[in-house]
Structure 1
Amino acid sequence: MGLFFGVGTFVVNVSIGIQRLGWTSVIAAVVGGLLFGAVMALFVARQRRQSDGTSMAQTVTNAVKKGELPHGASADEWMPLLERRRRQARLLRWLGPLEFGLFSLLAVYLIVTDGSRVIFWDAALVLFLALAIWYPINSRRQLRSIEQLQRQLADDPRSAGSAPVGGS
């Protein structure tokens, strides 16, 4: 991830004229990529610890996407996980459009003020607007699915579905 960030920022910065091609820009991209990679590694490790590991986080994600609990899912284990996912979806329902709406305004500003008329800012504007629209739609879908899963747990707290807990 850090490699992609470093190479991506290097290519973008050189292509839009923020940096010139040279050793200092290469070193800055490498250092930036390493720092980004380290921060993201810490973030992912924290997320995995909070979700009882990678397989459980993936199992919860799959359950929310499919709307089905895995076989043997217990209410004691799943209710806190689903509640946490519900809080995240409710937060992103308004924070996603706000964040990417502000990014869209920044992209418009850069399109207007950047004399070189680089297509990068136009593409960024389209991406930011698409994400600002996608977040509330996806959050509503996730919230409906989570509520359905919580109802399944309330109706039958012993088990549901067909896949083993923590696995595929």
Structure 2
Amino acid sequence: MLKKWQDWLGKRSWWTLATILAVFWTLGWFGIQAAIRPSGASWGLLVGAVVGGIFYGGFMALIFRRQQAKYGGPSTSRAIEMAVREGRLPEGAEPEIWLPLLDRKKRTERRMVWVGPIEFALFTALCVFLIVTEPSVWSWWVATVLFVGLGIWVPLWSIRRAHRIDALIAELKAQETDRSSF
């Protein structure tokens, strides 16, 4: 299900992606704020959520498209992601194209091994601060547990992905050696 959703999103224009992200941001932010504020929902809160959603949707859509462009466009980016996820190369993967892209992906995953825990430690510290200032808000407790879990999970996931990428690179280099021997 998630793969189909990602494929569907990857084929859409950046405006469509920006709109979807803006709607999710607006609904999520408005819903959370309306639930935790003693005064409930207001028009000002809705307007703030819509403006924030527009900025968030546009910014994130540009970042997603920039990332796809770094990996050879939407179709190549999806193919690389699927190869890393499944641990095998698609038919016709050309070493000249794929080796530099997989090397970039590997560097990113290696970086996430140490950046991920730092990032989520900072988010956890923010949540702890928010719990200390307002302990009655249950969402800070949930967010703290979530960020601690992500701080543990992200480096493990990145190490696993880096090993898969190493195997794909080795397979591509073997293909390249086989081609050059003919």
- Smaller-chain TM-score range? 0.7 to 0.9
Residues 100, 132 of structure 1: 8 Å contact kept: yes
Greater fraction helix: 2
3-state SS of paired residue (2:92): coil
Alignment-mate amino acid for residue 51 of structure 2: V
Quote the offset at 1:122 in angstroms.
1.0
Quote the offset at 1:15 in angstroms.
2.2
1:156 is matched with 175
1:110 is matched with 130
CA RMSD across the alignment: 1.8
Residues 104, 129 of structure 1: 8 Å contact kept: yes
**Runs of at least 4 residues of structure 1 off by over 4 A?**
none
2:164 is matched with 145
CA distance in 2, matches of 1:5, 1:18: 21
| TM-score using structure 2 length | 0.81
Length, aligned pairs only:
158
| TM-score using structure 1 length | 0.87
3-state SS of paired residue (1:21): coil
Identity of aligned residues (%): 38
In the alignment, structure 1 segments of 5+ residues that lack a partner are 160-168
Higher relative contact order (CA 8 A, sep 6+): 1
CA distance in 2, matches of 1:131, 1:64: 20
Residues 33, 41 of structure 2: 8 Å contact kept: no
Q: 1:133 aligns with which of 152, 166, 179?
A: 152
Deviations 1:133-157 (CA, angstroms, capped at 9, x unpaired): 1111011101111111111111112
Deviations 1:50-82 (CA, angstroms, capped at 9, x unpaired): 222222111101111121111121210110110
